[in-house]
Structure 1
């Protein structure tokens, strides 16, 4: 009975998570862990670090972790009853989700499903309220699309994660993602608001082979969907399609003073 309930629980989690990972090439297990631990990102990061689960991992890397932690997955659950997929990739993603569920625990899976139900209920109420309102007449002002904004992505990373980055240089999406993954503190706000941040930095050269903490500020055009995000994987997911930014600030931190508004990983 208990096993059957776990099958149902894990299948329900998979149904919710699958649309978010179906086309993802790397970091599937890492992403699922962070999705389930939606409110406890630091715990997810700790488990991922301990088990060497990386955001850059290929499906083959994730498969090895699955095989290492679940010695014979087909004996753990009667997969034919709950996962009748003919698609081999979908089956593989299912087992990655099962492993993530196992690592995060039954309670976290349950809380995640409750959270998704609340989100859907809220959206349904909002949709009903909107549909019940009278249609906008031609004389009434029409709501304009959301304004395009430049996002200021502010990160604290170790110096050895900087690579060849230089102030005022362009940075592509893959390098931005790597910096996000390496961040110990992060904040994404509007460009104008970033001038109110005052991290304590120094003028010394950045020793790229050290663990010194470095402050990086990147301006990203059309980055409005990133602004205010407090979860790293959601931040990455909302990077604009053009995938480029400009490094506006790059300096060693003197101390952690001035980071009070930042999200800590």
Structure 2
């Protein structure tokens, strides 16, 4: 189970300098109980959101410490960065508990199954897309943050308006579905939208697409907390699409909260 969870979370923590153990705790526990449980565990063990890898490793050493240092796997593998990340994940799993780990893996399995069903349904209607390189450039990218929120969470938002980081975070917190992809990949999403006016003070579902320059660290993130954490420092975006949803079909590639 440790290996399965490491395989899922390693792309999100590789080359991350701070808050690795903190983030892994939130990723694992998100599927079971967003926010509160992870926060309580982190507070109890002194796991900080901006802790360095060395500070994380000291917590790991404390949990798996052995009177005979030669049996401490962290010491044996201290010069292998991937192994160090693996043991941080192991300790996160241990602190979260077996039940939470199983729930996380079930959540990932459900997400993949939903995406596969959507892909199969789409392939029946559309010709296969041309083969493209899947290697992401390590340059500044524009992220397309796509959210489904209720109309009463929109406020005074208008298409083509600039939106600041605090308002983006509020929309992420209010979202029932979300996905963050590289632009123009967001054109591959197919939500069913309408041209009707968005009613205020309504629970009607609304589709919002926000372009965020230098948002490459947000792309592909599957947990709202991690998404907000990786908002770029300039903290602004542009509302490129704002429309009522006709229904909830076409959301197969979205993450459901």
| 2:28 match | 39
Matches for 1:132-143 after TM superposition, within 5 Å: none
Q: TM-score, normalised by structure 1?
A: 0.53
| Number of equivalenced pairs | 162
Paired residues of 1:187 and 1:262 also in contact (CA < 8 A): yes
Paired residues of 1:154 and 1:218 also in contact (CA < 8 A): yes
| 2:247 match | 255
Paired residues of 1:157 and 1:179 also in contact (CA < 8 A): yes
Distance in 2 separating the partners of 1:96 and 1:248: 42
The DSSP-based 3-state class of the residue aligned with 1:38 is: helix
Matches for 1:46-61 after TM superposition, within 5 Å: none
Distance in 2 separating the partners of 1:208 and 1:123: 56
Unpaired runs of 5+ in structure 2?
A: 1-17, 48-59, 65-72, 85-136
Q: TM-score, normalised by structure 2?
A: 0.54
The DSSP-based 3-state class of the residue aligned with 2:243 is: strand
Aligned with residue 167 of structure 1, among 139, 144, 159: 159
Change (3 A) 1:35 1:203: same
Distance in 2 separating the partners of 1:157 and 1:123: 45
Paired residues of 1:37 and 1:43 also in contact (CA < 8 A): no
TM-superposed CA distance for 1:94, in Å, is: 3.8
| 1:239 match | 231
TM-superposed CA distance for 1:125, in Å, is: 4.7
Paired residues of 1:37 and 1:44 also in contact (CA < 8 A): no
| 1:203 match | 195
The reply on whether 1:124 has 2:116 as its aligned counterpart is no
| 1:226 match | 218
| 2:106 match | none
Matches for 1:19-168 after TM superposition, within 5 Å: 20=19, 36-45=25-34, 94=43, 124-126=80-82, 146-168=138-160
RMSD, aligned CA: 3.7
| 1:181 match | 173
Structure of larger gyration radius: 1
